[in-house]
Structure 1
C-alpha cells in the first residue's frame, strides 16, 4: 500500500466535541479520503464548551476546510455561523461546518444520515423517543417523508419545543410523556418504526418497557452504535422485528458531509468497514453521535 504523505498543502478536516475519544469519524473519513486519493486528513479535536468560541475562530484562522460537530456543541455553534442551510434551520442544530471566505456555514447532515439507514422503507407511523438534537433530526426527516410521528419525551415541554422547531403541525407530530405508559404502549403498537434518539442504551441501559414491546413487521432504529447491540435492539430482534443501529446513521451523515466538502461521492462501503473495524478494536466499543 502506498504511504500517504502529509504536507503543508494537505487540507485539514476535523470533528469537534467533548468528549470525542469514542468518535469513529476519523477512521471513516480517512478511509474514504484514501480511497478517493484526496490530499486531506481528518482529525478529532476535543473542545470543552468554554473553549468553543476560540476553537471556531481557529477553524477559520488555521484554514480548515470544514468540521463535523458532535455533542455538546450542535446548537451552540449556530450563533457563530454566517449562514445556515434550510435543513440546519429546520432541525435547530448544526453537525457540519464548512469554512468559506465569508465565515462558517452550518448544515445538518444527520437528516440525510438517518434516512440512509431507512433506505426505501415506507413509514406511515413512527414513535421517536427523545427531544434533543438527534430527535429533531429524526423527526424532521420523518415529517419530510410524510410520516405521522409520536414524540415520547421525559419533559413534554421540550417535546413541544421540538415540534415548533421543525415546523410541524400538531396533526403530524403528537407529544406524550414517557411516564404515560398506556399512551406510549398504544403508539408503539400502531407504529411501523420505533426510534431511540436518546443516549440510553450506550452503556447497556434499557428503555422504558412499552418501547421494547415490538412485534414482527416493525423496525427498531437505535441512533446509538454499540458493541454488543443495545438491549433495545436485542429485544426487538427476539420479538421478530427488524433492526438498524446508529452506525448506519453515522456513516450516512459522514458521507453527506464529506461529499459537501469535496464534491466527490465517497466510498460508503469503505467508510462503513473502517467504522466497524474501529469499533471492533475497542474493548468497550460504541458511542452516540459522530
Structure 2
C-alpha cells in the first residue's frame, strides 16, 4: 500500500503541491500518494487526526494553518521552533514532528537559481504571519543586513521581532510609516492580501538603486506586487514559484531521505505559467 501524504490549507483548490510531489516520487521511483485537504482553521486538528488514523505519515501545511500546526506538534526542528511556524509534518510514534522548510527553500531559490547575493541587503519584510515567520530566520542566517518588519497588525510585527531575537538587526514599524522608512535593497511580500483581489499600496521611495522584489505568492496573487516592483525599476522581480518547488524538495528529503532534482520541474512549471500569461 502506498504511503499517504497530504497538503492541508484553506483554500487549496489551485495548489501545485500534489503535482510537484508526484513528479518527485515518479522521478525517484518512490511509491506514495499525495492529496490536498481543504480545511478551515477550526477543523484543522480534526482533519489532521483523521489523516493520522487513516495511515497518513507526512504532510505539508500552507496558509492559514502554519502557526496552528506549530501548536499541534509533539516535537519540533530548530527551524520550526525558532519560527513558531510549521509547514512540514512527519508522523512519529509520539505524534507529529514539525519542521519548517520555507526559509531554506526561499534562500536556495534566490541564491542558487537566481544568483542573488543576499549579503548586506537592507530588507523590508511585509507581513508577520506564518509565511513571514518561516523565512525571516533563514534570511538573517543568509547574511542580510538589517530587516524591518511591517504588518497591518503592529502587534504581530512586534511579536515576530521578539521571536527573532536579533537586537540591532531587526525592527518593527507601522504600515503607516512606509513613506518614512527610507529605501531598501530587498523587499519581500509575505502577506496574503493579493490572494483575494486586494492590493498593496506601496511608495516608490522604498526602492534603492540596488533593489530586488520577491513575492512569496505565485501566479495571479503575485502579479500586483511584482508589477509595482517593475514600475519602481527593480533589478529583479521574483515570484514564489521557485520557493514552492525548493521547499517541497526539502520536505520530500525529510520524508524519504533523498532530495529530488528540481531544475526540470521548475522549468516546466515556469514555461506553463508563461503560456498561461500569454493566453490571457
Alignment TM class, shorter chain as reference: 0.7 to 0.9
2:192 corresponds to which of 196, 199, 224: 199
SS in 1 for 2:193: coil
CA contact (8 A) 2:179 2:205 kept: no
**Residue-by-residue CA offset, 1:182-217 (whole Å, 9 max, x unaligned):** 323x1xx2x221111101333564422226753552
11-20 or 52-61: bigger deviation? 52-61
- Is 1:260 the equivalent of 2:257? no
Structure 1 residues 211 and 42 mapped into 2: Cα distance closer, same or farther (>3 Å)? farther
* Structure having greater relative contact order (Cα 8 Å, sep ≥ 6): 1
Q: CA deviation at 1:159?
A: 0.8
Q: Do 1:83 and 1:104's aligned partners in 2 also have CA atoms closer than 8 Å? A: yes
> Is the contact between residue 32 and residue 270 of structure 1 (CA under 8 Å) also seen in structure 2?
no
Residues 168-179 of structure 1 aligned to structure 2 (within 5 Å): 168-169=166-167, 171-179=168-176
* Aligned pair partner of 2:179 in 166, 170, 182: 182
Give the C-alpha shift of residue 250 in structure 1: 0.9
- Aligned counterparts of 1:72 and 1:209: Cα–Cα separation in 2: 24
Instruction: Determine the structure 1 residue equivalent to 2:41.
Output: 49
Structure-2 change in CA distance of 1:127 and 1:280 (3 Å): same
Q: Deviations over 1:47-97 (max 9, x none)?
A: 233322222222322222200011222111223211011100111111100
In the alignment, is the contact (CA less than 8 A) between 2:5 and 2:33 conserved in 1?
yes
Question: What are the residue-to-residue correspondences of 1:152-231 with 2, within 5 Å?
Answer: 152-169=150-167, 171-184=168-181, 186=182, 189=183, 191-202=184-195, 205-210=198-203, 213-227=206-220, 230-231=223-224
Query: Under a length normalisation based on structure 1, what TM-score does the superposition of the two structures give?
Result: 0.85
Write out per-residue CA displacement over residues 208-232 of structure 1, whole angstroms, 9 at most, x where no aligned residue: 2226753552110011101485122
Extract unaligned runs of 5+ from structure 2.
Answer: none
The answer for the alignment partner of 1:61 in structure 2 is 53
Question: For 2:136 and 2:204, how far apart are their aligned partners in 1?
Answer: 17
**Greater CA drift, 256-265 or 132-141:** 132-141
Mark the runs of 5 or more structure 1 residues left unpaired by the alignment: 1-8, 286-290
